[in-house]
Structure 1
Amino acid sequence: MRLTVLGCAGSFPGPDSACSCYLVDADGFRLLIDFGTGALSPLQRFAGLYAIDAIVLTHLHADHIFDACSYVVARRYNPDGVLPPVPLYAPEGARERLSTAYSGPGDDPLDDVYTFHELKVGTFEIGPFSVSAERMNHPVETYGLRVEYQDRTLAYSSDTAPCDAIVRLARGADVFLCEASYLDDADNPPDLHLTGREAGEFATKAGVGRLLLTHLVDAWGSEFMTSDAAASSYTGPIEIVRPGQRFAV
């Protein structure tokens, strides 16, 4: 199983990165996790315009979904012919949210482009992957994901503040892709995001093999301070991810 980072900027695109978007592939099957603002560009650069077999949107905040609207044009008007709908797993209301963003309320359900499946807590199969979803601590309905393939596991926090579900999600994972939006010395809003130190603490509690930090807000944060804070609470390998990076899980 391989993870490719297509976008990792938190909340809005940074100078060098689109918002959240990650490609996980195994056995020739390509699962896109989140499709944030600007991610359609690196998808073409690092994978391919039609290199998607299924999509999971972890929640319906703009920085995790908006390029799923742009992608409608690429598939619907493909000059080489009609493309089959892509399975899309997302919280309740995704069809209406994407349709409204794309063309207006109720005007276009997008069913020719996506086959919508409601994302809920539990375990389900997508291609060769076993995917487990846990409800996270975020202002809107949000799910972290545990993606298993053979004997390897990738955990992804999505957006979350501290909660017990993070440990369940990441327990024993080979790779934990975890958000670390906030700095510890700032006056951070509650129940929204994690700091680097908190990400490290959860990685330690869950016993993960490797911690990948993501969703940093470039304009407001510090990679050095975030990485240093994570290292204060987790002694395993730590890396702040960047677009185009590929990781074997």
Structure 2
Amino acid sequence: MKLTILGCTGSLGAPKGPASGYLLRGKRGPSVIMDFGPGTLAALQQIQDPADAHIMFSHLHADHCLDFPSLMVWRRYHPASAAPARNLCCGPLDLPSRLGRISADIEGDVDDMSDSFAFVPWRHGESEMVADFRVTPYSVVHPIEAYGLRVEEPSTGRVLAYSGDTGWCDNLVELARDADVFLCEATWGDDPEGKPGDMHISGQEAGRAARLAGVRTLVLVHIPPWVDEAATVDAARSEFDGEIILGYAGMELDL
């Protein structure tokens, strides 16, 4: 399994890179896009044909999905590289209506994505095979329907866990149990004091989740451009003595 971070800046795109988006590639293919926030389509074009991929979403806040309508334009209308067949699209139950409204031509209409994607709604704890990967969604705590994703590669036994956006909850630890790599948000930086508890977590909480789950490598992501990254890493180290990496756009990891 190869992971490429298309972007991982928290809550919005930033000068250092796009908002949330990750590319997973197995031994056979096609590849899998995991979240697709603003700027990620441009980053994806530097790596592969955007039409040759399944896509899945942790949740539907704008910083995790807003390049999807542009992906639909590419898949439908590119003169040389339109999608030759449908791919899978997995996510929250209301994904077709939410994203369909964004790309519709007329107010109130919903653009039907079924010509390009076969939609599969997430159900907590129910695994789906997406290309080379077994993906299990775990419900997490956020203002809208949201999931953390556990991605297993059956051919190698490797596990990638992705928190999505979440406040602290038991499922955060369970989805990351014994993972080789844990992509975990740390939006609140080193100090969550005064922040709502049902939206995001801090670097310290990300470290605590990694320790309790027994992960091998913690990759901190979704850190807004106004947050002190070094202090966030230090906060994670106060809880977790394993490998900690600060995620960045363009980073590649082989699991």
SS at match of 1:64: helix
Residues 51 and 75 in structure 2, CA contact (< 8 A), matched pair in contact too: no
Q: Report the CA distance shift for 1:236/1:79 in structure 2 as closer, same or farther (over 3 A).
A: same
Alignment partners' CA distance in 2, 1:49 and 1:11: 26
Q: What residue in structure 1 maps to residue 181 of structure 2? A: 175
Q: What residue in structure 2 maps to residue 217 of structure 1? A: 224
1:77-126 alpha-carbon deviations (Å, 9 max, x no partner)? 02126522221001011111111111243242122222211111111211
SS at match of 1:49: coil
Alignment partners' CA distance in 1, 2:53 and 2:165: 24
Query: TM-score by structure 2 length?
Result: 0.93
Tell me whether 1:126 sits opposite 2:130 in the alignment: yes
Alignment partners' CA distance in 1, 2:110 and 2:135: 32
Q: State, as a whole percentage, how many aligned pairs show the same letter.
A: 39
Alignment partners' CA distance in 1, 2:57 and 2:140: 13
Q: What residue in structure 2 maps to residue 17 of structure 1? A: 17
CA RMSD of aligned residues (A): 1.3
Ranges in structure 1 where 5+ consecutive residues have no aligned partner: none
Q: What residue in structure 2 maps to residue 117 of structure 1? A: 120
Deviation at 1:23, TM superposition (A): 0.6
2:174 maps to a residue whose letter is: R
Ranges in structure 2 where 5+ consecutive residues have no aligned partner: none
Alignment partners' CA distance in 1, 2:81 and 2:229: 44
Alignment partners' CA distance in 1, 2:209 and 2:195: 18
Q: Report the CA distance shift for 1:107/1:233 in structure 2 as closer, same or farther (over 3 A).
A: closer
Alignment partners' CA distance in 2, 1:174 and 1:81: 35
Once structures 1 and 2 are overlaid, which stretch shifts more, 140-149 or 115-124? 115-124
1:155-205 alpha-carbon deviations (Å, 9 max, x no partner)? 000000100001110010011000000034342122000100000000000
Q: Report the CA distance shift for 1:51/1:243 in structure 2 as closer, same or farther (over 3 A).
A: farther
Q: What residue in structure 2 maps to residue 136 of structure 1? A: 140
SS at match of 1:31: strand
Deviation at 1:236, TM superposition (A): 0.4
Q: What residue in structure 2 maps to residue 147 of structure 1? A: 151
Tell me whether 1:188 sits opposite 2:195 in the alignment: yes
